[in-house]
Amino acid sequence: MHNPMDLGGRAFLVTGASSGIGRETAVLLSRLGARLALAGRNAARLEATRAALEGTGHELAPLDLSCGDEIPAWLKTIAARMGPLDGLAHAAGIQNLLPLKMVASRDIESVLQINVGAAVMLAKGFRQKGVHSERSSIVLLSSIMGLAGASCRSLYSASKGAIVALTKSLALELAGEKIRVNNVAPAYVQTPMFDAVMNQMGPESFEKLVAAHPLGIGRPLDVAYAIAYLLGDTGAWVTGTTLVVDGGYTAR
C-alpha cells in the first residue's frame, strides 16, 4: 500500500532532539523509515531519544548551537558519516517571558543567537556540497508569537518573526540548489518549555491561555506531523511558506 510519507532510505538532522518537539519529530521520522542525526547540548538526553527511535543507523551529534561559526564544519562531519542529508529539522530554541522594562542587551543577544543566528548558520552549512542530497528540505521552527505577538514576549516574538522572513529569503536563494525551505509556526504545545512558562503564570492567566486555543493545547506530535509533511515528498511543491499549527489560536 502506497504511503506518501514514507521516508525509507533517507537521512535527516534534527536539532533540539533531546526533548519536546525535536524529540517527537525524531521519533516520528524514524517510524517513517528515516535515519537520524540527533543534535542537542546534552548527550545523555540525546541517547534517551535514540533509544526511543525505530530502525538502525541513528547517530548522536551533540553541539551547542550558540557556537555558530562551528556549525558548517560540524555538518560536514555528519554528512561524511551518514552520507548526504535529505533534510534538516531545526527545533532547538529558547523562549522567555520578559517584560520590556527588564530587557538587557545580553538578553537580545542570547535569544537572537539561538533562535535566528543558529538557523542561518545551519542553512549555510546544509547548502555545502556533499552535505545535502540532490533534492532536500529545511524546516525551521517559528511560532504564532512571530505572527500574532504577545505581551512580555517582545524578544521571542521578534526572533520567531525573523524566522518567517528568513524562510522566504532562503527559499528563493536555495531553490536553484533544489533545497526547499519552510517553517512551522505552532501555538502553545505541551513541552518542558511550556511547563516553564506555565510556572511563571498565575492560574487565571493560564486559564485564559488555554481558552485561546479552540482545539486545546497542542501535543509535540501535532507539530511533528507538520514537519514530516514538509520534509517528505508530500511537501515537494512547497517552499517559502509558514505552516501554522495552532489549534485555532490565530483564527480568533
Residue 214: burial class (beta carbons within 10 Å; 0-12, 13-18, 19+):
exposed
Strands in 127-241 per DSSP E: 132-141, 179-186
HSE at residue 231, side-chain half, CA atoms within 13 A, is: 34
Considering the candidates 156, 188, 229, 249, report the single residue annotated as catalytic. Answer: 156
**Other beta carbons within 10 Å of 233:** 14
> What's at 67, amino acid-wise?
C
How many helices, marked H, and strands, marked E, lie in the chain?
9, 7
Distance from chain centroid for Cα 128: 20
Residues 6 or more apart whose Cβ sits within 8 Å of residue 235 = 137, 180, 182, 229
Instruction: Determine whether 156 is an active site residue.
Output: yes
The Cα 80–Cα 129 span in angstroms is: 11
Distance between CA atoms of 252 and 249, rounded to whole angstroms? 6
C-alpha closest to that of 183 among 236, 135, 225, 239: 239
Active site residues: 156
